[in-house]
């Protein structure tokens, strides 16, 4: 496991963005862990989160021309990630959307740089793929190309079929999905952290029952 992924899991647990217990998922499953990116809710934690995103993007080697953050959670994320990338020497324009188009002032539903070239979508997680689908349509409508998606955590969990939501996005749109960390990274971390090692068995059982076999 790359150091930054281990550091991200440690950071997420410390911020209680990753918590353990019994949580009901949207699919009605009882999960032994829960991820809530909304708890990265102060300046320092948002800055650190963005640095992890920047490392994941740069490590992936993905080619992109600009960043896009879907409303609402993607708005602060894409802004912070653009700053983190600039601090790492990769200055890129960014944009985000409104939920409803504005009919006065500058008008339209896109704020920031004009969508063009290869657009990398920045979001927190992919649950049903709705935000990605809307982003893909917005980007394609202006003649730009969605080149990939970046998220915090890949739960590596099956949806209604054999694939996870992330795998469905990758297959439907033929674009890569980059995650800062995965469920397997979380399990690897639990093996090394005595304070949380007791959760490994329950998370492992959940992974075995509902997890996908591999990334696509």
Give the residue ranges of DSSP H helices in the chain. 3-14, 43-60, 74-87, 130-141, 165-173, 183-192, 200-210
Half-sphere exposure of 182 (CA within 13 A, CB side): 17
**Residue tagged active-site, from 16, 24, 102, 191:** 102
List the domain boundaries for the chain: 3-210
**Among this protein's residues, is 104 annotated catalytic?**
yes
Please choose, from the candidates 116, 110, 178, 124, the residue with its C-alpha nearest in 3D space to the C-alpha of residue 149: 178
The pair phi, psi for residue 41, each rounded to 5°, is -120, 30
pLDDT per residue as tens, the chain (216 positions): 468 999 999 999 999 999 999 999 888 899 999 999 999 999 999 999 999 999 999 999 999 999 999 999 999 999 999 999 999 999 999 999 987 655 544 546 899 999 999 999 999 998 777 888 999 999 999 999 999 999 999 999 998 788 999 999 999 999 999 999 999 999 999 999 999 999 999 999 999 999 997 554
**Residue tagged active-site, from 104, 191, 196, 199:** 104
**Does residue 72 have a cis peptide bond before it, meaning omega lies within 30 degrees of 0?**
yes
CATH code of the domain occupying 3-210 = 3.40.50.2020
Distant-in-sequence, close-in-space partners of 140: CB < 8 Å, separation ≥ 6 = 146
CB 128 within 8 A of CB 160: no
**Among this protein's residues, is 102 annotated catalytic?**
yes
């Amino acid at each position: 496991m790359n150091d930054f992924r281990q550091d991200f899991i440690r950071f997420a647990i410390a911020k209680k963005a990753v918590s353990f217990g019994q949580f009901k998922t949207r699919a009605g499953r009882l999960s032994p862990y829960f991820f809530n990116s909304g708890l990265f809710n102060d300046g320092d934690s948002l800055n650190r989160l963005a640095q992890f995103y920047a490392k994941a993007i740069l490590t992936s080697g993905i080619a992109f021309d600009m960043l896009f953050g879907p409303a609402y959670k993607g708005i602060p994320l894409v802004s912070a990630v653009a700053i983190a990338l600039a601090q790492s020497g990769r200055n890129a324009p960014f944009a985000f959307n409104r939920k409803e188009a504005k009919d006065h002032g500058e008008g339209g539903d896109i704020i920031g740089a004009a969508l063009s070239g290869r657009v990398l979508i920045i979001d927190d997680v992919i649950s049903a793929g709705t935000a990605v689908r809307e982003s893909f349509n917005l980007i394609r409508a202006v003649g730009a190309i969605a080149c990939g998606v970046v998220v915090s955590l890949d739960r590596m969990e099956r949806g209604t079929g054999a694939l996870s939501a992330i795998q469905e996005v990758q297959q439907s749109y033929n674009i890569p999905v980059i995650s800062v960390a995965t469920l397997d990274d979380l399990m690897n971390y639990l093996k090394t952290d005595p304070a949380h090692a007791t959760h490994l068995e329950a998370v492992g059982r959940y992974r075995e029952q509902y997890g996908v076999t591999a990334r696509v």
